[in-house]
Amino acid sequence: MRELPQWLFDVYALALPRGHGFGDHPPVGAWQTADGAACGAITRNIDGSGYGILAMRRRVDQVWVVIAEERDFESMADARSRLEFLLREGEPPEPLPANTAPRPALFDLEGRTPSDIFRVLVTTASHRPAAWMLNQLYLALPKPDRNWAADCQTVNFHTRLWEAQLLVASVVESVAVF
């Protein structure tokens, strides 16, 4: 388990049901497995009365899912021990829930001809951070329609980018500070 920088946890937290809305239990630190398949945070009650944990794992289609959210640990060490147990390295990804179609991979063109802007995004080395971020936003969307990836790759790139921006604007009301 390695420490996760706040900015990276903030990106992954967009996929949480409440986004960055941690209420009275904001994160005080975050960690990730070396393989990147699981991450989690330790939270602390704002009145200082206890610690909690939030653990997430990637599904088979790379979407983050919460696998545990627990509270009432007496110390940060106790919370970290539990988080470390939950974020076991090398575990398989979480399965898809019943009656859930896998999310199409954003960068799998499936024979489609990409728009010029999408082609530049995915083929220019200097644009890799932006491409990575767009993929994370896509994976964080609660219920994108089944054409989201195809539209983003082709003629509706700007529309889908706008939807990703709306996601961020809707969930980033308060940013955690570790």
Q: How confident is the model at residue 174 (pLDDT cuts 50, 70, 90)?
A: very low
For residue range 96-126, list pLDDT tens digits in order. Answer: 999 999 999 999 999 999 999 999 999 999 9
pLDDT at 173: 52
Weakest-pLDDT range from 40-44, 136-140, 165-169: 165-169
φ and ψ at 78, to 5 degrees?
Answer: -65, -45
Weakest-pLDDT range from 56-65, 74-83, 141-150: 141-150
DSSP 67: E
Q: How confident is the model at residue 168 (pLDDT cuts 50, 70, 90)?
A: confident
Percent of residues, the chain, with pLDDT higher than 90:
85
Structure tokens at 117: 């802007």
CB proximity list for 126: less than 8 A, separation 6 or greater: none
CB proximity list for 33: less than 8 A, separation 6 or greater: 1, 2, 39, 87, 88, 89
Contact 115, 154 (CB under 8 A): yes
User: How far is the C-alpha of 158 from the C-alpha of 22, rounded, in Å?
Assistant: 31
